[in-house]
Structure 1
Amino acid sequence: MVCALGAAVAFGVASVLQAVAARAAADPAEGAGGSGVDARLLVRALREWRYVAGLGLDGVGFALELVALRSLPIYAVGAALAASLAVTAVTAARLLGTRLSAREWWAVAAVCGGLALLGLSSGSEGAGDDHGGDALRWGTLAAALAVLAAGTAAGRLPERSRAAGLGLGAGLGFGVVEVAVRAIDGMTPGALLADPAVYGLLIGGAAAFLLLTSALQRGSVTAATAGMVIGETVGPALVGVLALGDRTRSGWAPVAVAGFALAVAGALALARFGELSPPGESPAAAAARVPTSPK
């Protein structure tokens, strides 16, 4: 659980550091009215230590996520990763001066309370020993390919529902990654190359990033992030319970369900922090929109 929470903290802080760096790297000559994606911004951002630190934290978070998924029930890890939105919200309030409403502070408290309940009720570390068999490994590959196909279909949805559909597809892709990590059996090079779950992990992860990027570019950040949170938590949790033997401590199942629901609901209430500056908006415009952090 420490690794899962560490991953959430790493991902949440990384988002804010990268947003701060992107705004610091903005070209003042562009003014607040700039628009579009500036390819030169990435080059300038890479000169900012905060952006590089954010990338490093992303790598640390992913490594911690892998460790957590190999030893914890998927429902606990998924809820903990959704909690990165709470970390982003609190960190943004400090570094970016973003104002959290009373409702959002309650949402942060709900996430923390839900994770505490999950930590108390989750099964022992042995819950992650079941790899699900060949059917599940091939199933992750099929699911990853299905996510790609569904994402193409979601891109044709009406504008009002397109972002939510793409975000849900992205969440399902990240969910495939969570299940695939648990489904992988042998860790030798030969076993990894022959394991369909490995290819499901790679395709699912790539599809998730592509769909999330499209979702954030084509509609509401809140809708896209909410869809992603649902997709990456509910489905994988059910697979973990039904196919991988994930269990709670004896007699603690209701507490685990309540904790999971509380953490996910809190994350959904914080969905606007899924992207600190909307794609297509220049960093200068975003900086003008967000109040300066008080010293």
Structure 2
Amino acid sequence: MRRPVRKAIFPVGGLGTRFLPATKAMPKEMLPVVDKPLIQYAVEEAKAAGIEEFIFVTGRGKAAIENHFDREYELEAVLKNRGKLKELDDLSSLLLEAGSVTYTRQQEPLGLGHAVWCARNLIGDEPFAVLLADDLVQSETACLKQMVDSYQDTGGHLVAVMDVPKDQTNRYGILDVIEDNGSLARARALVEKPQPEDAPSTLSIIGRYILDPSVFHELDKKERGAGGEIQLTDALSATLDQVTFHGLRFEGTRFDCGSKAGFLEATIAFALEREDLGGKMRNIIKKYA
């Protein structure tokens, strides 16, 4: 039996410049899809996968994230006095178990690898998950739960992957695959944002990872990669002589909420799924399409 995946890192220190001016005073992770912020979807996914410890790597101006997952007694009292019990239950569901949440600062925006490295002392020597709130996955079974189940067979590093158009490989980390059964692919290498003519495949990583702690040894070197940042994919590549690396084609639809078009698409898709909004959203789409 492999060691369970109990801890998850949420890198939330980014500036969200693509959504300015909306993100000038509000963290991009707090942008709402229908009526829940992106970071709440990510935390709920982690909870559904059995995660017990939640580690947020924050930066300046991210206090709203901390407040979102904390008690707000005045608001709770108002809701109770007005008999808004459903809304009160919704707030209660946000709360994570006392002592299960940790916040640590990433003082400089040096890349995803650096953000993960900032949580090294909180992870210790055990496998852990990384969830990027920008990637929102709509699925019957939580994407990370699918990965945790698969990890019991694979061990090592496991990432969520999807096939992308050949001309878009320069936007993603791409796997160099040696075995592929249609669901699970084993890779010998990773290439960060290769040009289409240099891409070893079209199988790209999305923002879901289960990682072996050996990656911290490579992140400790703080070597810069693409864009002058400390790339997580580079550190993973450097460990592939020590641990296996697999990509799981998850069941579900991924929305790139780091882009405006992807964010709007996610809002429409999640609204259509709601019993209380689906019919109204279809009428709105017919009106403007």
Greater RCO, CA 8 A, separation 6+:
1
TM-score normalised according to structure 1 size = 0.34
Q: Which has the higher strand share?
A: 2
Bigger helix share: 1
